[in-house]
Amino acid sequence: MSRSYFFTLLLLVSLIGCQKQEATPPAEKQPQAKQEEKSKLVEPAEKSKSEKQSKKTPKPAPIEPVEYVNPLTEQQIAAGWINLFDAQSLFGWRPQNEVNWAVQDHQLTASEGPIGLLLTKVRFADFELVLDFKLSKGGNSGIFIRCAKNPSNPKVDCYEINLADKHPEGYLTGSFVGLHKFEPGKPTADGKWHQLKITANKNSFSVLIDGKISTEFKDERENWLRGGLIGLQKNSGEIAFRNIRLKPLSQTDLFNGKDLTGWREVPGSKSKFEVVDGTIHVTNGAGFLETEKTFENFMLQFQAKTHAAELNSGLFFRAIEGTEKAPSNGYEVQIHNGIKNDDRNKPNNAGTGAIFRRVEARRVVSSDNKWCTITLIADGPHISTWVDGYQVVDWKDTRKPHENPRKGMRLEAGHLSLQGHDPTTDLSFRNFKISPLP
């Protein structure tokens, strides 16, 4: 073989190898790129057809830990109050447009940009909403309740409780724009802090300003709004909000504290479910106790207590009816208080309030051997949880629809189910209260 022929052959082999390497990208990099694209905290952009059909669960991006702030008292937590603002971030909120929403000194602030809203990512129906606001002199703002994602008409798409000392049509602070006028009798756009309490109960509403000045309004229209998002408005001037908290109303009890009426054991359960001192006491496992009724979109609150360190349990929802072969096909709100390296921002096993196998709790708020209050909102594909009034999960299921939530997104109604995890299980549950989201 001549030397020139030998080098020509080497060149050909090298070129063929390069072509093969460019034509076949590494197998591990493609799924990773898709995961990163789907893990945005803000509402994601429209996905391609291939992404929408992906069977893999999009893994949310790690959430930057923030300082833990929870101004609620133990009595408020037990009464069902939750924080809508963590005093450190916009977690759980969606800006409507380019308003300069920011967090400063435990306050939500805005001063520049177009007229726009900061909206919750899940809906609420009947509730008490309390917050503090500070509006610059001559400014204009508002609180939107039962609001559509992109409202354009305050008489049709939402209820707007105005914040303004002057309005061309006379809808001053406390008024329902386009529906009900109110004269508060004193300025509220004065650069000072004021408290606003809004009660929405069916089609009856009340507004209380600084604990003294109040107005009431009843929407007698046939198409009164049953539920929707909560929005904070930046219109004109500088606006700041703080201490934003909510308590659900119109709740139905799921447990009577005396017996297991309305509940049933899933066939094949090894767990022991019994009523002890007004609680559902669960020992041993594996096993499940499920509701006889099914629920689709709802706000659920209940209390749980582990009786030893790092016990594992959960509440399943939108679950398929349990059988001996398939006892627990549903979404799962995890109950596990373990942490890594004494850091509550690092759950040891997803963390209480997590949607197990889908998204971890951003903080383990609860502790073993103590009662905690868990709040769950299942609103279409969007799921949020709070533990002791602090929001730990804000997650949207973008998987392909499937009857079984373990395999895909399920929007249909399903059972609630309590889990006995293993032979070490020893937990108590009480105060199950649910309200549907229309």
Q: What is the pLDDT of residue 38?
A: 29
pTM of the model: 0.86
> Do 18 and 87 have their domain in common?
no
Q: What percent of the chain has pLDDT over 70?
A: 86
Question: For residue 412, what are the contacts with CB-CB under 8 A and spacing of at least 6?
Answer: 296, 318, 403
CB atoms under 10 Å from CB of 281, counted, come to 17
393 strand-pairing partners? 385
CATH of the domain at 350: 2.60.120.560
Q: Measure the CA–CA gap between 21 and 25, rounded to whole angstroms.
A: 7
Is the pLDDT at 167 greater than 50, yes or no?
yes
Domain count, the chain: 3
Give the residue from 116, 121, 105, 158 showing the smallest Cα distance to 141: 116
Is the pLDDT at 192 greater than 80, yes or no?
yes
pLDDT band at 37 (very low <50, low <70, confident <90, very high): very low
* Higher local confidence (pLDDT), 64 or 87: 87
CA distances (Å), 24 to each of 10, 15, 20, 27, 50, in order? 22, 15, 6, 8, 19
**Domain residue limits at 230:** 74-248
Give the tokens for residue 294: 């099914």
> Do 48 and 162 have their domain in common?
no
**Mind listing the pLDDT tens digit for each residue in 359-395?**
999 999 999 999 999 999 999 999 999 999 999 999 9
Is the pLDDT at 409 greater than 60, yes or no?
yes
Give the residue from 294, 149, 302 showing the smallest Cα distance to 227: 149
Last-in-domain residue among 197, 221, 248: 248
Q: What is the pLDDT of residue 90?
A: 97
> Do 309 and 209 have their domain in common?
no
Is the pLDDT at 16 greater than 50, yes or no?
no
Residue 60 in domain: no
Residue 229 near residue 127, CB atoms below 8 Å: no
> Do 154 and 303 have their domain in common?
no
CA distances (Å), 84 to each of 1, 15, 44, 241, in order? 80, 60, 21, 11
> Do 92 and 236 have their domain in common?
yes
> Do 388 and 303 have their domain in common?
yes
Is the pLDDT at 31 greater than 80, yes or no?
no
Mean pLDDT of the chain: 89
Residue 234 in domain: yes
Q: What is the pLDDT of residue 6?
A: 40
* Pairing label, strands 107-110, 116-120: unpaired
Cross-sheet strand order for the sheet of 140-147 = 93-95, 116-120, 229-236, 140-147, 159-164
Q: What is the pLDDT of residue 238?
A: 98
> Do 152 and 212 have their domain in common?
yes
**Mind listing the pLDDT tens digit for each residue in 73-99?**
999 999 999 999 999 999 999 999 999
